[in-house]
Structure 1
Amino acid sequence: MRSFRARHAGAWLALLSGMSLTSPLWAQPTAADKALAEGLFQDGKKLMDEGRLQEACPKLAESQRVDPTVGTLLNLAVCHEKEGKTASAWAEFKEASALAASAGQQDRSQFAAKRASELEARLTRLVLEVAQAAPGMAITLNGKDLSAAAATGSGIPVDPGTATIEARAPGKKPWSQQVALEPGPSAPRVVIPPLADAAAEEQAKAAPPAPPPPAPVVPQEAAKPEGSGGPLRTLGFVAGGVGLAGIGVGAVFGIMAIQKAGDVEVGCSGNFRCSRADVEANESAQTTAMVSNIAVGAGLVFLGAGVTMVLMSRSPEKPVASERVWLSPSVASDGGRVTLGGQW
């Protein structure tokens, strides 16, 4: 069983002695619960006697939660009073007085009632004023909900220190404020202002971001094929000229070969055998024809390569019709000639 060994004189401390003899007031705890509560009670009482209130009060509170008794509750109230939590101690003394009276323990009930009356004169009371109530408005004090009746009136008993007040309502922006509360007796007043509408802010958050303006279109020059430019164009004309020259030379040699073949045909006509001069003329005509074929073939290759290079390097500003190349072959009694000309 719990017992008190008071170290300080005083009638109220003497009255607290033997409080653990009080039977539990709520559901019967188990043996393990009683053992735990007893250990917590003894530790808390010892720490409180040593003045280590911040450690003592939580142990006493946990002991009361595990195995609630009037004696533990009175010790917890004393601990909170020493700690400066006047509102908590006042509420605990009032509760202990009522529980003791219902259990027929008049001496403890009177003691607790007297202590609660003394603390009531020193309470700090927070007065809340709602400037404009909103539908569905909820107010919290240090994270605990307050009813509409509790939020307004003569004041809510609070422990000295820092208190956080918050107000919320559907469709409204939340509001909060921290207040420094001095030890009483005092009655600080806090006005909760009308809550601002949150519709505009919520719509702004829900609306998709506006697309960025389109980037200005900057005209760009058409890309030129790789390898194009002045040198390639020049090479194209040179190759085309060489090709045309080759074709012209081949044409001249072809005409000469035809003429020589005609002479051989005239010299050999009517004879069973051609003269030696006719045979040599025939061989010369064959050689000339072969040179003609080679020159024409090479000319066509160079001409095709030249046209390809010119087309690849042609500037779009210049029309194709402005570029002309011509070849003029001619045959004379002393041989053939080719005239090459162009405009670009």
Structure 2
Amino acid sequence: MRPSRARRASAWLALLSGMSFTSSLWAQPTPADKALAEGLFQDGKRLMDEGKLEEACPKLAESQRVDPTVGTLLNLAVCHEKEGKTASAWAEFKEASALAASAGQQDRAQFAARRGSELEARLTRLVLEVAQPAPGMVITLNGKELSATAATGSGIPVDPGTATVEARAPGKQPWSQQVTLDPGPSTTRVTIPPLADAASSAPATALSPAPPQPAAQARPEAAAPGATGAGGNPMRTLGFVAGGVGLAGIGVGAVFGILTMQRAGDVEAGCSGNFGCSRADVEANESALTTAMVSNIAIGAGLACVGAGVAMVLMSGPSEKAAAAERVWIAPSVASDGGRVTLGGRW
């Protein structure tokens, strides 16, 4: 075997067996480890003799992991060969041959070398080809990482069955493919296509500002001086309130004025006789004076409120409501015979 080919074979052996070429001298298992490994070995050997390979091989593999020995490794290789895992068995025979030779166990070394050579002619191989290598590309075979440069173009010994090939690289979308591998001797080629660029995180789309809402057409009163809103004018409202209070006061004064005139008539009729004014007439006169005073105060206050209300409405400026109010007006006046209120309008 040429040196380069030997180095390549050693690399595949390390990959497939999952072990380094170590001797039992490097490991220092405890007595408990040795006891556990021996028990596992005995169980695995018995199960293999019974043909229960799916149970035997894992026990032998665990025994080898706990306390590595050439004998256990040889039995594990035989178990894998019977199970049909030719690549695993080939790697284990090669490793056992090297370990036995270093330990001076020539018989075992020759036996393992011969069995390894026989299996090499029956290996199933997988050839990987990369259509377009990407920086930092990593290729894995059944979860085990391979060097993209070393793995491509070479026939990798693999166990027959189903294998999963995966490829990934920074900034690229991962790629994977399952491959069915027939028992050897056979060679299967798998081409890894150019990896697609990873979908970049789309920047958040800026929300478009909402279109400005058209300004509502101002009503006439909204543009009027002193207006505080589209719905009304505080001064105008206060003016109408004052006017209403004034009208109510005038109404009260008118009622008391009528009572005053009635009682004054009664007093004048009672006191015009020969006997003078009676006590009832005196009390009626005092009551008339009181109602007259109330009437004067109510009418005066009412007129003042009406006047103030009219002034506030006029000062608030024209509006739709004011225009409506102009259709009806109140005109208070004072004459020598008393006060009056004139109500007018147009329709």
Normalising by structure 2, we get a TM-score of: 0.66
Give the alignment of 1:189-204 within 5 angstroms.
189-198=189-198, 201-204=199-202
Give 1:139 deviation, angstroms.
1.5
1:37 aligns with 2:37: yes
1:196 aligns to what SS in structure 2?
coil
Is residue 319 of structure 2 the alignment partner of residue 320 of structure 1?
no
Provide the C-alpha distance between the structure 2 equivalents of 1:63 and 1:249, rounded to a whole number of angstroms. Answer: 118
Taking the TM superposition and a 5 Å limit, the aligned residue runs for 1:13-92 are: 24-92=24-92
**Cα pair distance change 1:253/1:214, threshold 3 Å:** same
State the alpha-carbon separation in 2 of the partners of residues 73 and 26 from structure 1. Answer: 16
Give aligned pairs, total: 281
Say whether 1:340 aligns with 2:318.
no
Call closer, same or farther: CA 1:337–1:157 in 2, change over 3 Å: same
The answer (yes or no) to whether the contact 2:127–2:190 under 8 Å persists in 1 is: yes
Mean CA deviation greater in 292-301 or 103-112: 292-301
Alpha-carbon distance in 2 for matches of 1:217, 1:247? 50
Residues 302-335 of structure 1, C-alpha deviations (whole Å, 9 max, x = no match): x79x99xxx9xxxx982424314314456687x8
Q: Does the C-alpha gap of structure 1 residues 186 and 246 become closer, same or farther in structure 2, counting only changes over 3 Å?
A: same
Is 2:293 the counterpart of 1:289? yes
Q: Distance in 1 between matches of 2:36 and 2:346?
A: 114
Q: How does 1:1-344 map to 2 (within 5 A)?
A: 24-198=24-198, 201-204=199-202, 207-211=203-207, 214=210, 217=213, 243-244=246-247, 246-247=249-250, 250=253, 284-294=288-298, 318-324=320-326, 325-329=329-333, 338-342=341-345
> What secondary structure sits across from 2:330 in the alignment?
strand
SS at match of 2:74: helix
Distance 1:238 1:93, change over 3 A: closer
2-structure distance, mates of 1:212, 1:48: 73
Output the CA distance in 1 between the equivalents of 2:112 and 2:69.
Answer: 14
Distance 1:30 1:253, change over 3 A: closer
User: 1:137: how far off?
Assistant: 2.0
Q: What do residues 236-267 of structure 1 show as CA deviations (whole Å, max 9, x unaligned)?
A: 9899668516426637977998xxx9xxxxxx
Tell me, which stretches of 5 or more residues in structure 1 are unaligned? 1-22, 223-227, 229-235, 262-274
Aligned-residue offset at 1:209? 3.9
Sequence identity, in percent?
71
Q: Tell me, which stretches of 5 or more residues in structure 2 are unaligned?
A: 1-22, 219-230, 232-238, 265-275
Q: Which residue in 2 is equivalent to 1:11?
A: none
State the Cα RMSD in Å: 4.4
CA contact (8 A) 2:164 2:178 kept: yes
Q: Secondary structure at the match of 1:202?
A: coil
Structure 1 residue 113: deviation in Å? Answer: 1.7
Output the amino acid matched with 1:322.
Answer: A
Q: Secondary structure at the match of 1:189?
A: strand
Higher mean alpha-carbon deviation, 322-331 vs 111-120, is at 322-331
Report the alpha carbon displacement of residue 76 of structure 1 after superposing the two structures with TM. Answer: 0.4
- Paired residue secondary structure (2:200): helix
Code of the residue aligned with 1:138 in structure 2: it is V
Deviations 1:129-162 (A, max 9, x none): 1112222222111121212453123410001122
Question: In 2, distance between residues paired with 1:339 and 1:44?
Answer: 125
SS in 2 for 1:157: strand
Distance 2:303 2:183 in 1: 115
Instruction: Rate the CA distance shift 1:300–1:58 in 2: closer, same or farther, 3 A.
Output: farther
